[in-house]
Amino acid sequence: MILLVPMFGFLQPQRLWWLVLIPALLGLYAGLLLRRRRRARTRPFSRLERVLPQQQAWKRHLAVAGAVLSLAALNVAFAQPKGEVQVPRERATIILTLDVSRSMLAEDVSPNRLAAAKSAAKDFLGMLPTGFNVSLVSFAATPTVVVPPTTDRGMVAAAIENLQVAPSTAIGEGIFASLDALAQAPPDPDHPGTAPGAIVLLSDGSTNIGRPSATAAEEAKRQKVPIYTIAYGTPTGYVEADGRREPVPVDHAELERIAQISGGKKFAAGSSSELEEVYSTIARSVGYVTVDQEITEQFAGYALAFALLASVALMSLAARWP
């Protein structure tokens, strides 16, 4: 699948000079129409003209418009247009970084934040191209590289299911551990060079231990690793602690700052369905790369479509142009 981005240039831009013929042809057509109207006013209709049905002007205009647009599209194709298109990446390494702090037990997302996050994360694995390496990193007070980069989706899914909560939240340490995991990606002998990487970080809280998350985001930026953050949960979330409710609202500002610094993007989800949509969007973002590609065939197709339109209009008109 190839996605077209609406930005393009030309390999042979000098050939676009032929487009000056388009206004000339339109001017000629307008002149013929004017001439016909003048003749109709100055001479009477013949007997044959009275018997024949009158031409429908809109069909004639449609035929001319189709022909002119077809010529224009052919000229654009002749100039060899090239567009920025998004094509699937052949390989990449995605670090799935999940917050497992105790606040993830909040039940504002059914059945609780962690259980819903686990389910969505496993679905996310199926959205990624099969050639991608995926690593799982969890963090609470300390981070853990649970699964190093691998193409074994089953292993990662099983590790996600076995995640357990722990106290505190060290988002910065989680990012640093994710960068360490990214460095463990196995080389591909068929594709020498370092594969692109990205971190997908889900959290519901703010850093309260370890190195600052902004410092970690700066390091990710230095290594050209974007961080896609997901602020997960609602403002009314809480957990039970020693018989009392402890509010655990999401810190959107910190996660926004991490994404902005690293060159990634911040998302928010307050329900399981919203989280699935976010993961789907991220999968499309990390699964495609923008490249320059010649798109001459596309404009040749436009030319054919306009030519067919002109032909149909002419056949329905069943009469000469003015």
CATH number at residue 146: 3.40.50.410
Residue type, 49: E
CA count, 13 A, side-chain hemisphere, 67: 17
Please give the residue range of the domain that contains residue 245: 90-270
Q: Are residues 214 and 117 in the same domain?
A: yes
- Helices 113-127 and 153-161, interaxial angle, to 10°? 180
Q: How far apart are CA 287 and CA 142, in angstroms?
A: 30
Beta bridge pairs of residue 4: 85
pLDDT at residue number 189: 62
For the chain, residues with pLDDT lower than 70 are: 1-8, 39-56, 85-89, 188-194, 288-291, 317-322
Question: Position of tokens 């089953």?
Answer: 154
pTM above 0.85, yes or no: no
Residue 52 is assigned to a structural domain of this protein: yes
Angle made by CA atoms 285, 291, 297, in degrees to the nearest 5:
115
Q: Are residues 10 and 97 in the same domain?
A: no
Residue 202 is assigned to a structural domain of this protein: yes
Q: Are residues 230 and 304 in the same domain?
A: no
Q: Are residues 61 and 108 in the same domain?
A: no
The residue count for the chain: 322
Residue type, 242: D
pLDDT at residue number 213: 96
Residue 69 is assigned to a structural domain of this protein: yes
CA end-to-end distance (rounded Å), the chain: 45
Give residue 66's Cα distance to chain centre: 33
3-class SS of residue 158:
helix
pLDDT at residue number 270: 86
What counts of helices (H) and strands (E) characterise the chain?
A: 10, 11
Residue 312 is assigned to a structural domain of this protein: yes
Q: Are residues 202 and 162 in the same domain?
A: yes
Number of domains in the chain: 2
pLDDT at residue number 285: 79
Angle made by CA atoms 201, 276, 183, in degrees to the nearest 5:
30
CB 279, CB 127: distance < 8 Å: yes
Q: Are residues 75 and 134 in the same domain?
A: no
Q: How far apart are CA 186 and CA 150, in angstroms?
A: 8
Q: How far apart are CA 159 and CA 167, in angstroms?
A: 19
How is residue 19 written in tokens? 């487009």
Report the candidate in 135, 133, 128, 134 with the shortest Cα–Cα distance to residue 187: 133
Beta bridge pairs of residue 96: 136, 200
Beta bridge pairs of residue 9: 82
Residue 285 is assigned to a structural domain of this protein: no
pLDDT at residue number 299: 86
**Strands annotated E in the chain:** 3-10, 81-88, 93-99, 133-139, 143-150, 197-203, 227-232, 238-241, 244-247, 265-269, 288-294
Q: Are residues 97 and 198 in the same domain?
A: yes
Residue 280 is assigned to a structural domain of this protein: no
Q: Are residues 102 and 70 in the same domain?
A: no
Judged on CB neighbours under 10 Å (0-12, 13-18, 19+), 119 is: middle
Residue 282 is assigned to a structural domain of this protein: no
Q: Are residues 19 and 102 in the same domain?
A: no
- Name residues whose C-beta falls within 8 Å of residue 176's C-beta, 6 or more positions apart in sequence: 143, 211, 216, 219
Q: How far apart are CA 94 and CA 275, in angstroms?
A: 17
Q: Are residues 245 and 125 in the same domain?
A: yes
Q: Are residues 61 and 121 in the same domain?
A: no
Residue 31 is assigned to a structural domain of this protein: yes
133-139 and 143-150 as β-strands: parallel, antiparallel, unpaired? antiparallel
Judged on CB neighbours under 10 Å (0-12, 13-18, 19+), 41 is: exposed
Q: Are residues 200 and 308 in the same domain?
A: no
